[in-house]
Structure 1
Amino acid sequence: MKNMLKGLGAALCVALPFIAQAPADAATPAATGAADQTLVQRGAYLAQLGDCAACHTAPKGKPFAGGLPMNTPMGRIYVTNITPDARTGIGGYTEADFARALREGVAKDGHNLYPAMPYPSYAKVNDDDVKALYAFFMHGVAPVQQANRESDIKWPLNMRWPLMFWNMAFLEKGAYRDKPGKDVAWNRGAYLVQGLGHCGSCHTPRGIAFQESALDESGSAFLSGALLDGWFASNLTGEHNTGLGRWSDEDLRTFLKTGANRHASAFGAMTSVINNSTQAMSDQDVAAVSTYLKSLPPAGGTGAAAYTYDPQATKVSLDRPANDAGARVYTAYCMHCHGVDGHGFAPMLAPLAGNPNVLAKDASSPINVTLNGTGDLVIDGVPSPFPMPGFAAVLDDQQIADVLSFVRVGWNNGAPAVGAAEVAKLRQSTQAGR
C-alpha cells in the first residue's frame, strides 16, 4: 500500500469531441503571419497550468493529437486532436473560434461540447491568456494529421442540442475579476484555481445535471471533495481531518511541486496533474494557489472530532495479528513500507496515520489504490523510486476490506469500515478491459 495518499486528488480534464473536422479548403490561421515567440512561450506555460496534455495526449501518442479513450457513465469517448492540423485538428480555428470553444463550450461548426470539458472553469480565463494559448496551439505545437474518433455514446444521450439549455442554466460567462479587499497573491491564486486549473471539475460535488455545485468560494460545496471515476477527489478546504486544515503553506507548496509531503502522496488522476502541470508552475504561482486554498473555510467534513495521533491500540493489534484479520494482512503486505506507527517514510512512502484520504467517509480512493496501485510521479524527469503496487491479483475482496478497515480505524483514524462488496464493485469497474 505504498504512496497511499492522494492529497489534492485529481483534476481530470475530460475533453469530449470538441473539434470539428475542417474541410480541405479551410482557412489555416496557423500558417499565416509571424508568431510572437514571447506570446507562444507564455501560451506554453498556460497550457501546462491548464494540464491540457493530460487529456489530449494519448500514451505513446504525439503531443495534443488526441485519441485517449475515456470511460464515462454514458459510454466511451475519445479525446480530440487539438494540434494545428487543418484537416483533423484546429488549424482552421480563428482566435474567436478558439475562445468560444474554450470559454463557452461551442465548437467552430456550432455544436455544443459536453460539460465534462471544463469550459465552465475556462470561462474565467482572461482575453490576454486566451490569446497566448491560441498562439501556442497554432505556432508552438506540431500539426498531426490524426482523425478524431466518434464516441461510443448511444442515441439519445449523444445529442448535443439540449446542452444549449444546460449552458443557459449553469454557465457563468465572463472572465475572472479581482475581488475587492483581497491582495494580489490571493486573486492570482483564485484565478488559477477557478480558471485554468479547473480544480472544481474534480474536487467540487456535482448536481443531478452534472453541474458543479459551486464555481467559487461563495458556495459552501466548492472544493469540498467529490467522487469521480472511481476516486474520491480530496477536500481542498480548511477542514481539519479530511481537508487541508493541518497542512502548512509549505506543505501545500511542496505537494504541488513534488506530489508528496508529510501528509500525502499523489495518486490517481492527481499523478498526471503533478507530472504535467503543477510541478512546472512558477514559485510565485504556486505560492498564490497555496494562499488562496489556505484561505478557504472548512467545509464537507465528517463531523468527527479533530484528529489526534494515538498509536497504542494499533500497536497492540499488530503485536497479536492472529487475532485480527486486517492486522494479519497489514503485517504481511503493508508494514514494511508504512510502519508499525503508520507514519511511513514520508515523503517517499506515504503515511497512513492521519491521512486525509484515509479519514474520508468515502473509501473509494484507498480501495482503488490498493487494487490498482499508482502511476509514477516523475519530477524533473526522474520517476519516483517507490510507486504503490496494485494488489488486485494478490488479495481477495475480503482481505482488502479487512486491511483497509484496520487502517481506517488504526492510529486513531476513526474512519468507517470497508465492506467486501465495496471492494468488489470497484474491482469490477476498474479492472474491466485490463
Structure 2
Amino acid sequence: MSARTPLSATPLLAVAMAALLATGARAQTPVPTTGGATSGERVSAPRAPVSKDPQVLRGQYLAQAGDCISCHTRPQGAPFAGGLPMQTPFGTIVSTNITPDPDQGIGAYTVEDFGRALRKGRARDGHYLYPAMPYTNFARLSDEDVASLYAYFKQGVAPARQDNPETALKWPYRMRWLMAGWNLLYLDGAPYAADSAQSAEWNRGAYLVQGLGHCSACHTPRGFTGAEKAASEKGGDVFLSGALVDGWYAQPLRASALPGLATWSRDDIVDYLRTGRNPHTAAFGPMAEVVANSTQHMSREDLAAMASYLQAIPPAKGASATAPAAPAPDATAAALHDGQVPERGAMVYLNNCAACHRSDGQGAARTFPALARSSAVAAADPTSLIRIVLRGSAMPHTTDSPAALAMPGFGWRLQDADVADLLSFVRKSWGNAAGAVQPAQVATVRASLPK
C-alpha cells in the first residue's frame, strides 16, 4: 500500500513495523514461471462443505480462490485449524485456527468480527494481527464476499480443536500495538472500486489479483518498512515487478521483452493456473501449492479475467511488451547433439539434464519444461533455479492434469561450482540471454535450505 500522510515515529517503531511485514509471509500467488514444487512441499486438498446452501458454496469458492488452506493448515493437521509455523528473522509466526471451534477458532465471531479481522487486521478481542496474513489485500473485498466467506467458515468447515504453538517473535516485534502505527501508514481499508474506463472482465481480474488472490504480496517488492511498494497498477512500474520471498524468486507479472507474459496467450495463462503447466512451462515451489489448492478450483471465466488484467498492465518504462522473435536454429543445440562440449557447463548439462530437457532445451510439452527462452531461466534472480537444481521439483496434482511429475534434486552429486557452471550455460543458450551464476550464489542458497 502506498503511505498515507506521514506519521511522526520513533526509530524503534519504524524498525519494528518494517520487520513485521517483511517476515516470510507465505502468501501464494498466481505467477507464470517454470519448474515444479519442491520435493516434499506440503499440499492439502480443500474439504467439501457440509452444507449445500448457495452462500456457503460461494464462500467455499472464495476461500479456495484466496488459498486460505495453505497457510491455515499445518502438515498432518486438521483443515483450517492453523499451526503452520512461518520462520522469520524476527521469530516464528504461527497461523491461527479459523475453524468454527468456539474456543480456539472463530466460533464466537460475528460477521462484523470476521470482516474486521479480514479487512482491518484486528481480532475479535481487538488485538492486532500480523500482516503475514495479507489483510491489506483482503481489504479490497466486498461486503457480499466477506459474508459468503463467513458463512462457509461457520457452516461449511468442521470445527477442530488443535493445540498449536504460540507465535514467538523477538522483542520488540512481539509488541502487537506497534501495528497500529503501521496500519495508519499502509492500510487503505477501502473496498475495490471499479474503474469505469475498463471492461467488466478487466475489473473482475483486478479485483481478484489485487484482493483475494493477493498476488502483490509475493510479486511486488517491499520498502524499508516492509510494506508493498505499490498496491495496484496505479502505483507505477514497481507493481508486480518481482521480488525474492521466502527463498524463492517470485517473477515479474508485467509484460516485458523477457520471456514470460509477453510470449503467452490468455489461454496459456488460464491453462497454467488451471493445471500447473502449459506449452511453455510448469509451476514450481510455492506456486505448485497455489495451483493445487487454489487456482485449479477457480472458474475459467475468473482465470481469464485475471489473465486479461495482467496482460493489460503496461510494461515498465523502457521495456517492450512485444514478444521477441523466435531465434534461428541454435548452434548450441547442434553442438550438444553432436556431443561437442566447449565448456564445463555443457558437459554437466549433457550428463544430468539432456535426457529430459533435450539438446535443444525444448523439453517435452506439459511433461519436461522447456529451458529455451524460459521465463524462469531468464529471471534476473537465479535463486529459484539454483533451488530446483539442488532439491528438485514436482508439478502439482490437478484434476485436469493429475500426473504430478517430479524432477530429482542433484545437490547430492553436484558441487557448487558444477551448479554454477550448469546454470550459467543454460542461461546463455538456446536464445536465453541471462547473466552468469556464481558458485557463491549456489553456496548461499544451499546453506539456506532446510536440512
Q: Say whether the fold is shared (TM-score over 0.5).
A: yes
Kindly provide the CA deviation profile for residues 14-55 of structure 1, in whole angstroms up to 9, marking residues without a partner as x: xxxxxxxxxxxxxxxxxxxx9881111110000000000111
1:234/1:242 contact within 8 Å kept: no
Distance in 1 (CA, whole Å) between partners of 2:413 and 2:329 is: 28
Distance in 2 (CA, whole Å) between partners of 1:376 and 1:339 is: 19
Task: Show structure 2 runs of 5+ residues with no match.
Answer: 1-30, 36-49
Q: CA deviation at 1:271?
A: 0.4
Distance in 2 (CA, whole Å) between partners of 1:279 and 1:186 is: 20
Name 1:155's counterpart in structure 2.
171
Name 2:249's counterpart in structure 1.
232
Distance in 2 (CA, whole Å) between partners of 1:300 and 1:139 is: 48
Name 1:275's counterpart in structure 2.
292
Q: CA deviation at 1:115?
A: 1.7
Distance in 2 (CA, whole Å) between partners of 1:159 and 1:196 is: 28
Matched, 1:423 2:442: yes
Could you tell me which amino acid in structure 1 is paired with residue 249 of structure 2? F
- Mapping for residues 33-432 of structure 1, pairs under 5 Å: 37-219=53-235, 220-299=237-316, 306=324, 308-315=326-333, 317-318=335-336, 319-380=338-399, 383-431=402-450
Could you tell me which amino acid in structure 1 is paired with residue 150 of structure 2? Y
Kindly provide the CA deviation profile for residues 59-97 of structure 1, in whole angstroms up to 9, marking residues without a partner as x: 222110111222222222222111111111111111111
2:357/2:363 contact within 8 Å kept: yes
Q: Select between 322-331 and 307-316 the one with higher mean Cα deviation.
A: 307-316
Distance in 2 (CA, whole Å) between partners of 1:307 and 1:404 is: 23
Q: CA deviation at 1:317?
A: 4.9
Distance in 1 (CA, whole Å) between partners of 2:429 and 2:33 is: 22
Kindly provide the CA deviation profile for residues 254-287 of structure 1, in whole angstroms up to 9, marking residues without a partner as x: 1111111122210011001100111111111111
Kindly provide the CA deviation profile for residues 108-144 of structure 1, in whole angstroms up to 9, marking residues without a partner as x: 1222122221111000000000000000001100000
Could you tell me which amino acid in structure 2 is paired with residue 315 of structure 1? A
Distance in 1 (CA, whole Å) between partners of 2:92 and 2:197 is: 45
How many percent identity over aligned positions?
49
Q: Select between 64-73 and 226-235 the one with higher mean Cα deviation.
A: 64-73
Could you tell me which amino acid in structure 2 is paired with residue 330 of structure 1? Y
Could you tell me which amino acid in structure 2 is paired with residue 356 of structure 1? S
2:98/2:106 contact within 8 Å kept: yes
Q: CA deviation at 1:308?
A: 4.2
Distance in 1 (CA, whole Å) between partners of 2:115 and 2:275 is: 32
1:321/1:331 contact within 8 Å kept: no
Q: CA deviation at 1:402?
A: 0.9
Name 1:24's counterpart in structure 2.
none
Name 2:39's counterpart in structure 1.
none
Name 2:10's counterpart in structure 1.
none
1:241/1:301 contact within 8 Å kept: no
The TM-score normalised by the length of structure 1 is: 0.88
Distance in 1 (CA, whole Å) between partners of 2:33 and 2:339 is: 35
CA change 1:175–1:377 in 2 (3 A) is same
Could you tell me which amino acid in structure 2 is paired with residue 325 of structure 1? R
Could you tell me which amino acid in structure 2 is paired with residue 96 of structure 1? E
Kindly provide the CA deviation profile for residues 189-233 of structure 1, in whole angstroms up to 9, marking residues without a partner as x: 110111100001011111111111111111221111111011111
Distance in 2 (CA, whole Å) between partners of 1:46 and 1:300 is: 35
Q: Select between 319-328 and 248-257 the one with higher mean Cα deviation.
A: 319-328
Could you tell me which amino acid in structure 2 is paired with residue 255 of structure 1? Y
Name 2:8's counterpart in structure 1.
none
1:311/1:412 contact within 8 Å kept: no
SS class of match (1:115)? coil
Q: CA deviation at 1:312?
A: 2.7
Q: Select between 335-344 and 388-397 the one with higher mean Cα deviation.
A: 388-397
1:9/1:232 contact within 8 Å kept: no
Q: Select between 157-166 and 120-129 the one with higher mean Cα deviation.
A: 157-166
1:302/1:360 contact within 8 Å kept: no
SS class of match (2:234)? coil
Task: Show structure 1 runs of 5+ residues with no match.
Answer: 1-5, 11-33
Q: CA deviation at 1:322?
A: 4.7
Distance in 1 (CA, whole Å) between partners of 2:276 and 2:399 is: 12
1:224/1:300 contact within 8 Å kept: no
SS class of match (2:384)? helix
SS class of match (1:409)? coil
Could you tell me which amino acid in structure 2 is paired with residue 406 of structure 1? F
1:7 to 27, 32, 37: 32
1:65/1:81 contact within 8 Å kept: yes
Distance in 2 (CA, whole Å) between partners of 1:108 and 1:371 is: 44
Could you tell me which amino acid in structure 2 is paired with residue 355 of structure 1? S
Could you tell me which amino acid in structure 1 is paired with residue 315 of structure 2? P
Q: Give the CA RMSD over aligned residues.
A: 2.3
- Give the count of matched residue pairs: 405
SS class of match (1:70)? strand
The TM-score normalised by the length of structure 2 is: 0.85
Could you tell me which amino acid in structure 1 is paired with residue 180 of structure 2? M
